[in-house]
Amino acid sequence: ADYWQATKALGHGDFQLLVFAPSSVQEMVDMVVKAFDTADKYRMPAMILADGLLGQMMEPVQFPEIKANSIDKSSWAANGHGNKREHHIINSLYINATDLEEQVIERYKRYDIIKENETDAELYLTEDADIVVCAYGATARVVKSAVNSARAEGIKVGMFRPKTLWPFPVKEINQACQHASKLLCVEMSMGQMIDDVKLAINCSKPVSFFGRTGGVIPTPVEVLEHIKSL
């Protein structure tokens, strides 16, 4: 469940994966289907960034009906040509630097389309929130409990949970914190998503951090105390 490795440190640079972050066993099932379809649509790899807590959790799930993807692959798929068309040659090795640069530029045009159309996030009680707590994966379940407790005490707090870590939901986080004066990023790490949170809002508001690491799970009480401290 290493955020940096999934979203920043893949390949040899200028390269991204689609990264999905479930917070329940049902979402793990649903996002596998979503990941396959989205990867097929854009012809790029996808990753499900689950964590140890979700991996050992038992919850009831419903398996969706899997429908065949209707994407037209006739222009590129290596699925036999029957001597009726030219061979499709799948090539990822470009020795000439200029050729490689052209490929990377074309890839980034596709990335821009993905950033515009494929982001997803849960906004929870953010409509009037003075404080927005940002969390993903199983950590968001802890945060939601803390947010409910804070609301019961009259504190206007909400939660922003990215379901896609790449592309990061920039539009959604700005919508979530449009009335907020402060943000709190809660992670099971020393702080990795917090960088994207700050970038997404152009550092326009202060972002605090609370994290536990080494496999220690933060508690709702701990998160609530940090909310109160803000």
Domain count of the chain?
Answer: 2
Lookup: tokens for 136: 């993903």
User: Is residue 42 a contact partner of residue 14, using CB atoms and an 8 Å limit?
Assistant: no
The verdict on 132 and 103 lying in the same domain is no
For residues 144 and 172, membership in a common domain is answered with yes
Among residues 78, 101, 117, which one ends one of the domains? 117
The closest alpha carbon to 122, from 221, 24, 202, belongs to 24
Of 51, 85, 117, the position where a domain reaches its end is: 117
Does 199 lie in the same domain as 172? yes
The three-state secondary structure class of 196 is: helix
Identify whether the C-beta of residue 169 lies closer than 8 Å to the C-beta of residue 24.
no
- 60 plus 147 within the same structural domain: no
What is the pTM (predicted TM-score) of this model? 0.93
2-59 per-position pLDDT tens digit: 899 999 988 777 889 999 999 999 999 999 999 999 999 999 999 999 988 999 999 9
**What are the pLDDT digits (tens) for 171-206?**
999 999 999 999 999 999 999 999 999 999 999 999
34, amino acid identity? K
Side chain identity, residue 29 = V
Domain-ending residue, one of 86, 102, 117: 117
- Domain span at residue 34? 3-117
Same domain for 151 and 59: no
d(CA 163, CA 19): 9
Cβ 141 vs Cβ 21: under 8 Å: no
Please state, in angstroms and rounded to a whole number, the distance separating the CA atoms of residues 184 and 134: 6
Same domain, 28 and 109: yes
- Compute the distance between CA of residue 156 and CA of residue 148 in angstroms, rounded to an integer: 10
CATH of the domain at 145: 3.40.50.920
Q: Whose structure tokens read 């469940």?
A: 1
